[in-house]
Amino acid sequence: MTATARCFWVPEGDDLYCDYHDHEWGYPVSDDRRLFEKVSLEAFQSGLSWRTILGKRENFRTAFRNFEIRTVAAFGESDVERLVGDAGIVRHRGKILATINNAARALEAIEAHGSLAAWCWSYADSDAELRRIQSEEEVRSRTTTPEAVRLSKALKRAGWKHVGPTTVFSFMQAAGMVNDHHLGCGVVDQINAARRVFSHPS
């Protein structure tokens, strides 16, 4: 695949970004741990470049114990201080505390809905919308969707932090709940194939 066959936001020659785009971004995800990781990293990204987060992702995984939800929910003050002092991640106390809070809220969602995936995917676009391939102009022009706004509001009502509509939209894009590989992107066929065999969590 050449650089010109990727979405507009992928920097040419950046292997880490290219690999993320080609093999991860937009593929549907139904695993609770992976979804929690994605929404957590999107919250950390707010105000920063995604390249910064992507470059630190393995450090984040180590620091947050691979984003195992129950483990993170049990983090205490010593963990907070450990994370604030970890130069390998984004040392933002508010976002660190939000991630720990959100892990506890994720456990509540799992108890209430059967899984975090079932709850989040209930706010996703329809199958028809997921299959519709958009132009680059359409993708460039929007920073959120009605679905992302509704999920953001639901998360906030449930006590989640740092989950505004733009952050939630990015999370939904990354987890495949929104189809934003645009016309001309060489990954479109693989994304559609992944969607055809994807079972919506319920």
3-state DSSP call for residue 41?
helix
Query: Which of the four pLDDT bands, split at 50, 70 and 90, describes residue 160?
Result: very high
Whether residue 125 lies inside any domain: the answer is yes
CATH number at residue 94: 1.10.340.30
Average pLDDT over residues 141-147: 87
Please choose, from the candidates 155, 158, 167, the residue with its C-alpha nearest in 3D space to the C-alpha of residue 39.
Answer: 167
Active-site entry in 9, 24, 50, 136: 50
Whether residue 173 lies inside any domain: the answer is yes
Whether residue 8 lies inside any domain: the answer is yes
Whether residue 183 lies inside any domain: the answer is yes
**Dist. CA 174–CA 76, nearest whole Å:** 29
Whether residue 201 lies inside any domain: the answer is no
Residue 89 has pLDDT above 90, yes or no: yes
Domain of 135 in residue numbering reads as 3-196
Whether residue 59 lies inside any domain: the answer is yes
Q: How high is the mean pLDDT of the chain?
A: 92
Helical segments of the chain, H only: 15-23, 32-45, 50-55, 57-63, 69-73, 77-84, 93-113, 116-121, 127-131, 136-141, 146-157, 165-174, 188-196
Q: Is 68 annotated as catalytic?
A: no
Active-site entry in 20, 24, 108, 136: 20
Whether residue 202 lies inside any domain: the answer is no
Average pLDDT over residues 80-103: 98
Domains: count for the chain? 1
Q: Is 50 annotated as catalytic?
A: yes
Whether residue 94 lies inside any domain: the answer is yes
Active-site entry in 25, 37, 42, 147: 42
What single DSSP character describes residue 46?
T
